[in-house]
């Protein structure tokens, strides 16, 4: 079963700069929206540290070839646009936490239960994603939908899974 996503399908990049930028600074949905000049230096240092740790926790984000990317898309939502919005909100909410790495690692290590299903939280098999951000098309391929509703859903469910209160 093939997974299709507008973010990385047929590309060698995990996510476009526009998606990354919008997840952080988009006027209505970005985690940070705007920063003043005093906040920029601290933000740059933090966001680099955060995304480096995210790649450490989720090494699938560090795949480089189209073939590696296609394999990931068949089984997980971790590279979807809605999840990148969620990652930005996780970054914002963990920025001043001492033990932020412990919370972040839960993305990869915690078994998630949804009804009778049990498995990896970011797995495309996780029913929490079905008909919320992932929909099957007529060919029974999963399609990840990116819109305000799916971004908000991903943000809310990821923050809840990591036991983070959104600020």
Please check the confidence at residue 102 and state whether its pLDDT lies above 60.
yes
Of the pLDDT bands very low, low, confident and very high (cuts 50, 70, 90), residue 14 is low
Using CA atoms, how far apart are residues 132 and 119, in angstroms rounded to an integer? 18
**Into how many domains does the chain fold?**
1
Range with the lowest mean pLDDT among 67-71, 74-78, 113-117, 150-154?
A: 67-71
Domain span including residue 27: 3-161
> What pLDDT score was predicted for residue 126?
95
Look at residue 166 and tell me if it is in a domain: no
Distance (Å) of CA 19 to CA 8, 29, 83, 135: 11, 12, 11, 21
Residues facing 135 on adjacent strands: 143
Look at residue 136 and tell me if it is in a domain: yes
| Residue entry with tokens 């998630």 | 112
Look at residue 167 and tell me if it is in a domain: no
In 3D space, the residue among 28, 159, 17 whose CA is nearest the CA of residue 92 turns out to be 159
Using CA atoms, how far apart are residues 75 and 125, in angstroms rounded to an integer? 7
> What pLDDT score was predicted for residue 6?
41
pTM (two decimals): 0.88
């Amino acid at each position: 079963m093939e997974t299709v996503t507008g973010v990385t399908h047929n590309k060698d990049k995990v996510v476009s700069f526009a998606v990354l930028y919008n997840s952080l600074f988009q006027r209505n949905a970005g985690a940070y929206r705007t920063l003043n000049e005093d906040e920029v230096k601290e933000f740059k240092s933090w966001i680099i540290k955060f995304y480096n740790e995210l790649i450490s926790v989720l090494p699938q984000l560090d795949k480089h070839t189209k073939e590696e990317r296609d394999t990931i898309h068949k089984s997980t939502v971790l590279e979807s646009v809605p999840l990148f919005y969620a990652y930005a909100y996780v970054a914002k909410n963990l920025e001043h936490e001492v033990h932020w790495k412990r919370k972040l690692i839960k993305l990869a290590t915690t078994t998630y239960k949804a009804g009778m299903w049990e498995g990896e939280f970011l797995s495309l098999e996780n029913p929490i994603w079905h008909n919320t951000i992932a929909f099957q098309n007529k060919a029974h391929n999963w399609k990840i939908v990116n819109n305000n509703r799916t971004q908000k859903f991903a943000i809310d469910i990821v923050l809840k899974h990591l036991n983070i209160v959104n600020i």
